[in-house]
């Protein structure tokens, strides 16, 4: 059976096995001014190790903290809705985070802290 035949069979539901791909659970955090942030409930072991290394790395403490927060946002953010505009592309999310106001960054940090404590208790919250 070729690749196309397997794809057709999968679409028709005649092939054994999962038809839908798995999706990670998400949590949504809201703020009237900063919008609504949706965060992924799964973080790979490699991303956890990278986060810990950045947070406790040889960088200046403030730089390490900023980079670690950005890394968590980059890995966990699924979407961010601000003023009715939903951003869900990874590159656009990171760009929007980098140009966020102080209040928006504070909201993101608080959402990340809450999310990390709830879903990843072994990690140090940003």
| Within-domain flag for 53 | yes
Task: State the residue range of the domain holding 43.
Answer: 39-126
- Say how far apart CA 47 and CA 49 lie, in whole Å: 5
Pairing of the two strands 26-31 and 77-82: unpaired
Say if 33 falls within a structural domain: no
pTM for this structure?
Answer: 0.76
Residues 32-76 pLDDT 10s: 888 999 999 999 999 999 988 888 876 577 778 888 899 999 999
Structural domains counted in the chain: 1
79 assigned to some structural domain: yes
Q: Which residue blocks in 1-126 are alpha helix, DSSP H? A: 3-12, 45-55, 61-76, 90-98, 102-119
Asked if 107 contacts 31 with a C-beta cutoff of 8 angstroms, the reply is yes
Q: Measure the CA angle with vertex 95, ends 44 and 23; round to 5°.
A: 35
């Amino acid at each position: 059976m070729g690749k196309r035949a397997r794809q057709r069979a999968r679409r028709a539901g005649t092939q054994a096995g999962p038809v839908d791909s798995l999706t990670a659970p998400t949590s949504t955090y809201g703020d009237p001014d900063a919008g609504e942030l949706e965060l992924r409930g799964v973080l790979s072991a490699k991303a956890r190790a990278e986060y810990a290394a950045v947070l406790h790395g040889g960088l200046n403490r403030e730089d390490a903290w900023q980079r670690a927060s950005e890394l968590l946002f980059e890995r966990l953010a699924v979407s961010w809705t601000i003023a009715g505009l939903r951003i869900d592309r990874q590159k656009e999310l990171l760009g929007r985070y980098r140009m966020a106001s102080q209040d928006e960054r504070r909201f993101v940090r608080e959402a990340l802290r809450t999310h990390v404590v709830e879903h990843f208790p072994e990690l140090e919250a940003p």
